[in-house]
Chain A
């Protein structure tokens, strides 16, 4: 690990430090620092700041950025109203990691692409302009949607997939104290020609909370398909809240993990489902729309049919139709 100065923030002002990296749970950042993928010269520890509460407000819930993944998953209100979020959190990492990992930090996890982690290899995300070995290399876990000719990395978070389903907004405190609220599609950038620019955050910004509006109507499911039954990243995951009434789908919100550089949501898929009677043909059509632009790179080709099957299975479960 490269040397760095350590400061424990006593106030939000201390955390708005352009020269520093913020550390909270540290479960991803310290791992990356041990590999010298991240080499900050200063760390600001925000763990003693006042961002640890889950608060209910009118038509929303505000989750402090320091709420641990385990506390969030176990919270009675989250379990009751936002089941997809509890389920996604419980499907991620291990008990030890969930105890340390925070809500804000989980959103900012870096990719698990093997070439990003291997500092002997080029990587456009780690070293802009150096090239991408994943396109023709080991790309089994990598993306099929939202990629560019510079990068095919996936975002690894389960939590963020559920938050995308729930239309979460991230509360960001700017260095001048102004508050900015971003949707996850606004927070996360697609790779394009600059895969190293992953988010819309600017130097000195501090994520202070995540806001969830009232949960959409319907049953909640988080289905994660992975190489082991526990403690593994998703190959494909689906977070879904779907409601049926009178034999028709009336509400649908769906997001996908393991497919793209950010939690993937395609509202056209939802519009296809809403107002229709659940059927095998309808689910096939939804999968066609979701996967219309999907592109495999060899090792990850299997994700295209796998996503279709998982989507159909989840929709079958949620609507009581066959599957």
Chain B
């Protein structure tokens, strides 16, 4: 009879690669990525789902990786900041954050970029937000929409204007968003 909470062998699909690991069921997806798989791009800020620094994509959707268990994600496709681009071949959002200075200390940046990636996909599916006037028509990609949709990502350096500019400029290259309505 195994002891309570004994480690489990699982396989996670991270950035297109199958990775096997032994984890205590208590290990959050974030900690599995950082300490078991050495993918330290995803950051631990609050560890309670309040700051967004740990944001990753699971099956294309942005989530807080600190508030979910690694053992719950066998069979899922997980994408971290390391899966978007690398030095020399940055993704459009990564390039845009550099260009627009969308950070100061950089700690929240991987989470901001992963959240923006997921947010743009949500926008492209026509999802409304709390600031969308009419639930019946597709919202415009305005600054007000970006701010509302990115409210789950905090930046203690308050680089929000740069973050907003970076997202607006990169969005058309990240998906099928039309040029933002002026």
Contacts and interface: CB of A to CB of B under 8 A. Distances in A.
B21 interface: no
A90 B129 contact: yes
Given A86-B128, A100-B64, A6 B69 contact: yes
B125 A95 contact: no
A232 B60 CA distance: 25
B87 interface: no
B148 A230 contact: yes
Judged by DSSP, the binding face of B is: loop
A302 interface: no
A26 B115 contact: no
A179 interface: no
Contacts of A26: 67-69, 72
A246 interface: no
Interface in A132-180: none
Given A73-B127, A80-B136, A231-B152, A30 B28 contact: yes
A230 B130 contact: yes
B128 A96 contact: no
A6 B152 CA distance: 29
A43 interface: yes
B135 A86 contact: yes
B170 interface: no
A94 interface: yes
Interface in A71-117: 73-74, 79-80, 83, 86-87, 90-91, 93-97, 99-100
B62 interface: yes
A6 B25 contact: yes
Contacts of B128: 73-74, 79, 86, 90
B99 interface: no
A43 B64 contact: no
Contact of A100 (B67, B119, B132): B67
A70 B126 CA distance: 12
Nearest to B64: A96
A86 B5 CA distance: 39
Contact of B47 (A34, A41, A79): A34
Interface residues of B, number: 41
Nearest to A88: B130
A279 interface: no
A94 B151 contact: yes
B110 interface: no
A42 to B, nearest CB: 9
B136 A79 contact: yes
Contacts of B49: 27, 31, 96-97
Contacts of B95: none
A30 B68 contact: yes
B150 to A, nearest CB: 8
A4 B4 contact: yes
B152 A97 contact: yes
Contact of A230 (B25, B136, B151): B151
Contacts of A90: 128-130, 132
B167 to A, nearest CB: 13
A100 B68 contact: yes
A4 B72 CA distance: 14
A321 interface: no
Interface string B121-151: 0100111111010011000000000011111
Contacts of B135: 79-80, 83, 86-87
A5 B122 contact: no
Interface of A: 1, 3-6, 8, 23, 26-27, 30-31, 34, 41, 43, 45, 47, 70, 73-74, 79-80, 83, 86-87, 90-91, 93-97, 99-100, 230-231
11 contacts: A31-B48, A43-B69, A73-B128, A79-B136, A94-B52, A95-B149, A96-B55, A97-B64, A99-B63, A100-B68, A231-B151
